[in-house]
Structure 1
Amino acid sequence: MGDVISTHLDEGKREMITARTAQVMREFGRVYKQQYAVALFNSVRFDIEGAAGPQSQLLHRKDPLEDRSIFSGSLFQYLEETRKWRNRFVFVANTYNICLYESKMAHERGLHTKSTINCAGYKALTSMEEYLEVVNASLPGVKGKVGSGPLLKCATEFPLILWHPYARHHYFCVLTEKEQQKWHAVLQDCVRHSNNGLLEECRVQTPAFTDAVRLYRQAQGHYGTWEMMCGAPPQILANLVMETLHPELRSLIGPRLKGKMQQKQRNWMLISEVVYKQVLTQTQAQYKALVQACEVDTPRLDAALRTDMDQIITSKEHVSNKIRALVLPKAEQLLRSSVQPYISSILESLMEPISRGFSEVRDVFFKELVEFSRNTLNGEGEAKLGEHMEKISMLAFHPVKMQCCYEKVEQLNLEGLQQRFDVFSPSVFVQRAQILMREQMDNAVYTFEQLLCQILEAQDQGGEGLCKTIERCQDRVLKKYDYDSSTVRKKFFREALLQIIIPYMLKQLAPSCYPELPRFQELIFADFSQFILVKNVFEEVVLQSVSKDIMMAVKEAAVQRKHNLYRDSMILSNSDPNLHLLGNNPSVDWASQFGGGHDEPEGLLREGGGNSRKRRQVVSMIQLDEMGPLAYESCLEVPGVDQIPEEGEIEEEGEVKHKEPQPSVEPKASKGPETEHRMIAEPQTPTEPLGSPKSPDSVGEIRFLINPVVEMVAPSSQTEAVQSNGTGLKMEQLTLEQGEEVALITTVVEEVHRKSPHRKSTTQEMVRQLVETGSQERAKAAIVEEEGQAAITKIKKQDLGVRGTECAVDTDAELDPSLADSSLLRHDDSGFQSPTNEALDEAQPIMGALQRKDTVADSAELLVALEQKNTALSNDSETGENFTAKTAEYDTEIVSDI
């Protein structure tokens, strides 16, 4: 790796990268200082005039994730340095940064992380095909096919990849599809939150930064939306530098890369990562210095603004009228010909998926409260109130539960409009809508919490009373959610239309209007020139020209029922002033006030850095949903990958060999003087498809999936009965082939005359053949041919229903009841046994069960069958003995018993 970097990124290129970054930061810094003064003017004017929009009906939580973490669990991570897969413990704090630890114990002890991932600008992918597609696009001229060999071999078939156009890529994988879906939801939530990094509360720095980035890109000829406007300001500035620097380096270094296709792609990604780190380090330092310089000058600017605010506003209006006279005729002509015909179609493309997403948020909130009411009505009452409300309180930040809402918005499609209006990608609007959906969900949950807590503190109610209280609070909150979601959506539609239309109009008007703008600067006093910029006034005029049409389009859409929007006149002021008195209350700690939090849950994990305080986890660990916790999750074995040997594979080769699945195993037997106990396990075809395995609970279960081992022990009561006859039991282990499961385990006790080793070995072979083929007639012939008189005696006793000759495993402890009840129909070891079941009152002959499911063999038919057997066995070819005389006495016993 070092050779590649030193070869293609020599000292000259590094100096060129530093110089290019410094140049971009100087130009951006000049624009930022101008926009900082303008943003400060707008902020002070807003404070003085006090203009405000419709007031929210729902309460807003100040710090929803206080003392919370999002998710934690174990993943397999691919390490670029060693090209090996290693198990890592992943912890996602409330900052949405992904922290990777060596093990869970290392995290709990507060040790340093192996690495930390800030997900701003990343995309979460779930297949190598998607990943290879974006990788091929990053290096033109070096194409790769899906089947020609990937960049890396995934340890499992469920990968998770974090892709960034400039930074390092991160590769993970999990064992099951369910884990992949949950982790993908978590990673997407981390990306979504990180991309929304600019705080709206900063009413000066945030608009100054966004306007400066937009104006700088417009000066470079880029007018449309920008997908890489994500993350913290230094990251956005690094993306701004890489937007022009990356293609230049690619054309310079790409043709000089050597090796195969995959090697060229790896080398280019490595070079891109090093360049991005260098640029990011430089932008962080220079942006920090820029902000500090502006903050030092803020008191002087603020004093000048508050002293001359009236004169500044008057001067700005005068200049605006002059510019409006120049721009408005051209803007209106462009609006009528190229914009108005498309406003309704753009709005329809936006409104349908966004409205479905907000409607899904309402449905998820409603379903959670209905489930809460049902649990309360079933008798739990306040005993489980704290536990249920703890889950509901974090509903908005549960990536898995909110995924169905986010997926509705991801269906947004602006195809056909993107090229015309220079919309790079709809992901900008998708992620913004998803953030608003999460905010509205949290506002609804927080309002419900405050209302319910107020009522519970005022009066003590039982089960039905509590259920009615929950329903009243639920209806009250849902009405407020309908109003707020309508207001938020209309605001979002207006902003989205402006983000699509205004850049297009500015691009069309710039050639004819920009040359005329400098002469308007002379109309502004020198003292006010830093607060009034001609280019900003020009954009405001263009915005005003199109705002009226956008407002009318949104109002017309609000009348349509399908979008579930309300007219603005219906939301004039707060309709519930008493409710907003609760807005100053802190979040309710349901676990401590109403129970359910006395026992420390498994999800409580320490924050990194050795802090002893613990956090409640929003999303439970994957292992806690439907299975017990992983006992040794930090020591999970990485699945083997061809051509990527793990450390120590060569030394442990001898140990691995004996763990391989055996093709077939012959059942062993522990024999007494006159009896033999055979442990027989019947493999069952898996009922679930092999393509959807379940996640194992521990290392032992992972190994069991590779080499299934079944331990069988007879019940204690039957064990004592057998031992009283002088026989012994022995615990056996059977290794099944991969994919097989045990359906039924039986212990067969039968009398075997000790004649010769040959007879014993052939008996074992007969049992094995019997298990494999399951043929009744062949089993009869084999037993008669091998066992002689002892086999005939056993046939008569078992056909008479002699009980106690076979003992079954306790179905309550070992097997599913449905398997135990159907075992008589499916499990036929020999064709002549009469298996008994402790759950049945009477023994049923196995031959009758095979022929008729719900009938019992007739006594006359049984007698005829025995006579036919005696005739067939009258002459034995192997021994030459006549068995007719020996079996005559048993015929008399059969007739008398029947």
Structure 2
Amino acid sequence: MGGRPSSPLDKQQRQHLKGQVDTLLRNFLPCYRGQLAASVLRQISRELGPQEPAGSQLLRSKKLPRVREHRGPLTQLRGHPPRWQPIFCVLRGDGRLEWFSHKEEYENGGHCLGSTALTGYTLLTSQREYLRLLDALCPESLGDHTQEEPDSLLEVPVSFPLFLQHPFRRHLCFSAATREAQHAWRLALQGGIRLQGTVLQRSQAPAARAFLDAVRLYRQHQGHFGDDDVTLGSDAEVLTAVLMREQLPALRAQTLPGLRGAGRARAWAWTELLDAVHAAVLAGASAGLCAFQPEKDELLASLEKTIRPDVDQLLRQRARVAGRLRTNIRGPLESCLRREVDPQLPRVVQTLLRTVEASLEAVRTLLAQGMDRLSHRLRQSPSGTRLRREVYSFGEMPWDLALMQTCYREAERSQGRLGQLAAPFGFLGMQSLVFGAQDLAQQLMADAVATFLQLADQCLTTALNCDQAAQRLERVRGRVLKELPEFEGDVLAVGSQALTTEGIYEDVIRGCLLQRIDQELKKTLGANDVSCTLDGCLEVPWEQEGADEETEAEREGGACPRQPDSGAQIQPLCPPPSRGTFRS
């Protein structure tokens, strides 16, 4: 491809990046420590709070989310100068991609030529679309191809390409031999990208929730109040993405003019430079978080010992603080909600619901078809090998990428609608929402399958004939399908913080917002029992009737910033009170 960075990262550049990572960790870790306390309190309060009655929901699948290992021959554009070369590629069950010189090297346990975590990548199967993306990386050199090789390999037509693009890493260019192989690899790679991207969002560990809250608060303190996809990936990958986004403008200004080559060769060189910077930042972030791990483990253990005995007192203190805050901001907040939120809420709710409703309906259809196949097979061959094979296939449905693609595709189709939220709300987290809807579809399918198999195992005995067994399976089928709609109202549930005044302040505002969301969901879904409760919020939001008693002058007394125009930074609804814990 020609141009490469004029020089690799030198010692001074590496030292500069190390200093940037150290500064990030120094500013971030105190916020993380505070959120660990909030997360532990939230977990304990859930354990001690009212539990769902037995039998009122699907069983939770014990199988961890995974992708099926996929492997096969591909060609890859690699080397200096780059050439299309045959390789043997393997996608591991944890979503990590590896490639070997040939199949025998893989089978004999040899070293791979390269490997990568798929976090943050976007898969493109159109060469034209990829070249347009490459051109956009260095728009100032468009049309200047005088220094490029005349037979630039990226411009040679590729029949079945698989381009993996990353905003901060070297691009990976593969090609399959057939359309069928390309399709199979596309499903596998997309599954791996999602699996590695949502590792923190799927975790139930207090530390994972604390980390995500800490990242959000850290970025707010840096002046970023919008929402985007920066929290996709592991903790080290998230911090790396945060720092890379902060440093990218300066990096472009300082290094892009000095890159050799022009046009696409220059863009390719830019991705290689970014990859070197990303690797250095990721190594520093990983080392810093690894060094913090013993302190974090000790802090979590200490918080568990100190919070659990006093949890009732802590919750009462929190309730008093929340009550005072509600009183202080009641009028201004209600005025702001009526002016800024109420006119927009129907549109937002409709957009978000459509993102998940079609996916959940696809889950219902797919699940019903799978259960029907089992009943049909039972009538035909109650004890045969084919029945056992059907039961195994049914149990593997949540992890069958080709089968689940009908559910995932519905969420992918919503990206255009979600993109319409960017201009009025500054929302750029479309990929996170799509991944969340797909994760929800997979989890619902896994839970429904686990529930069906357990109930079927309990009700089927050797004393039943085929018709009796099939009738019992029909009853189990109806019971499982009846449970699915109960999850739809939880899609918009969000979390809260518990210990700091700032966290309680956010809870109060979110509680008021969720009242509005509840009302809009009930109107939209036509259900009286839809509850989009604040997940982990320990206070019931103040009642709407109380707000109506405020005078109009009181409501207008604390005007909040208006919604910014497109491209402006999103500002908080109301400025938070001075920081501190409610022990102070």
Specify the TM-score bucket, using the shorter chain as the normaliser. Answer: 0.7 to 0.9
Corresponding residue number in structure 1 for 2:332? 330
Distance 1:558 1:545, change over 3 A: same
Corresponding residue number in structure 1 for 2:404? 402
CA distance in 2, matches of 1:54, 1:28: 41
Corresponding residue number in structure 1 for 2:242? 240
Q: Does 1:250 align with 2:217?
A: no
Corresponding residue number in structure 2 for 1:557? 524
Is residue 236–residue 285 contact of structure 2 (8 Å, CA) maintained in 1? yes
Q: Does 1:61 align with 2:61?
A: yes
Counterpart residue identity of residue 359, structure 1:
E
**What is the deviation of 1:32?**
0.8
Counterpart residue identity of residue 443, structure 1:
D
SS at match of 1:225: coil
Q: 1:545 aligns with which of 484, 492, 512?
A: 512
Counterpart residue identity of residue 277, structure 1:
A
**What is the deviation of 1:75?**
1.9
**What is the deviation of 1:134?**
3.0
CA distance in 2, matches of 1:130, 1:211: 36
Q: Does 1:12 align with 2:19?
A: no
Q: Does 1:114 align with 2:94?
A: no
Per-residue CA deviations over 1:496-546 (Å, capped at 9, x if unaligned) read xx9xxx9xxxxxxxxxxxxxxxxxxxxxxxxxxx97322112211211221
CA distance in 1, matches of 2:183, 2:204: 36
SS at match of 1:40: helix
CA distance in 2, matches of 1:478, 1:140: 57
CA distance in 2, matches of 1:550, 1:433: 18
Corresponding residue number in structure 2 for 1:532? 499
Corresponding residue number in structure 2 for 1:94? 93
Counterpart residue identity of residue 328, structure 1:
R
CA distance in 1, matches of 2:305, 2:392: 48
**What is the deviation of 1:268?**
0.6
Instruction: Out of 48-57 and 6-15, give the one that drifted further.
Output: 48-57
**What is the deviation of 1:196?**
0.9
**What is the deviation of 1:437?**
0.3
CA distance in 1, matches of 2:370, 2:309: 55
SS at match of 1:161: strand
Distance 1:20 1:217, change over 3 A: same
Corresponding residue number in structure 2 for 1:760? none
Corresponding residue number in structure 1 for 2:422? 418
Corresponding residue number in structure 2 for 1:188? 190
**What is the deviation of 1:220?**
1.7
Distance 1:388 1:51, change over 3 A: closer
Distance 1:3 1:92, change over 3 A: closer
CA distance in 2, matches of 1:56, 1:114: 51
What is the correspondence of 1:460-479 to structure 2 with a 5 Å cutoff?
A: 461=465, 465=466, 469-470=469-470, 472-479=472-479
CA distance in 1, matches of 2:188, 2:408: 12
Corresponding residue number in structure 2 for 1:74? 73
Corresponding residue number in structure 2 for 1:135? 134
SS at match of 1:341: coil
CA distance in 2, matches of 1:56, 1:5: 60
Corresponding residue number in structure 1 for 2:550? none
Counterpart residue identity of residue 298, structure 1:
L
Distance 1:87 1:259, change over 3 A: closer
Is residue 254–residue 268 contact of structure 1 (8 Å, CA) maintained in 2? yes
Corresponding residue number in structure 2 for 1:359? 361
Q: Does 1:231 align with 2:198?
A: no
**What is the deviation of 1:214?**
0.1
Name which one, 1 or 2, has greater alpha-carbon Rg.
1
Is residue 136–residue 144 contact of structure 1 (8 Å, CA) maintained in 2? no
Corresponding residue number in structure 2 for 1:33? 33
**What is the deviation of 1:55?**
6.8
Q: Does 1:393 align with 2:387?
A: no
Is residue 99–residue 113 contact of structure 1 (8 Å, CA) maintained in 2? yes
Counterpart residue identity of residue 93, structure 2:
N
Q: 1:447 aligns with which of 423, 431, 451?
A: 451
Counterpart residue identity of residue 324, structure 1:
R
Is residue 90–residue 99 contact of structure 2 (8 Å, CA) maintained in 1? yes
**What is the deviation of 1:83?**
1.6
Distance 1:447 1:303, change over 3 A: closer
CA distance in 1, matches of 2:422, 2:478: 36
Is residue 125–residue 162 contact of structure 1 (8 Å, CA) maintained in 2? yes
Stretches of structure 2 lacking an aligned partner (at least 5 in a row): 532-584
Q: Does 1:277 align with 2:279?
A: yes
SS at match of 1:198: helix
CA distance in 1, matches of 2:351, 2:51: 31
Distance 1:150 1:411, change over 3 A: farther
Distance 1:475 1:73, change over 3 A: farther
**What is the deviation of 1:46?**
2.9
Q: 2:431 aligns with which of 421, 427, 440?
A: 427
Is residue 228–residue 430 contact of structure 2 (8 Å, CA) maintained in 1? no
SS at match of 1:78: strand
Q: CA RMSD in A?
A: 3.1
CA distance in 2, matches of 1:369, 1:144: 58
Counterpart residue identity of residue 287, structure 1:
L
Q: Does 1:45 align with 2:12?
A: no
Q: Does 1:175 align with 2:177?
A: yes
Distance 1:377 1:317, change over 3 A: closer
Higher relative contact order (CA 8 A, sep 6+): 2
Stretches of structure 1 lacking an aligned partner (at least 5 in a row): 503-529, 561-565, 570-898
**What is the deviation of 1:471?**
6.0
**What is the deviation of 1:190?**
0.8
Percent same amino acid among aligned pairs?
Answer: 24
What is the correspondence of 1:565-584 to structure 2 with a 5 Å cutoff?
A: 567-568=529-530
CA distance in 2, matches of 1:302, 1:380: 51
Distance 1:10 1:93, change over 3 A: closer
What is the correspondence of 1:870-881 to structure 2 with a 5 Å cutoff?
A: none
Per-residue CA deviations over 1:62-104 (Å, capped at 9, x if unaligned) read 12579x9432322222224452223333333321222323333
Distance 1:376 1:77, change over 3 A: farther
**What is the deviation of 1:143?**
3.6
Is residue 558–residue 567 contact of structure 1 (8 Å, CA) maintained in 2? no
**What is the deviation of 1:150?**
6.7
Per-residue CA deviations over 1:380-412 (Å, capped at 9, x if unaligned) read 962311222222221111111111211111121
Counterpart residue identity of residue 25, structure 1:
L
Instruction: Out of 334-343 and 83-92, give the one that drifted further.
Output: 83-92
Q: How many residues align?
A: 525
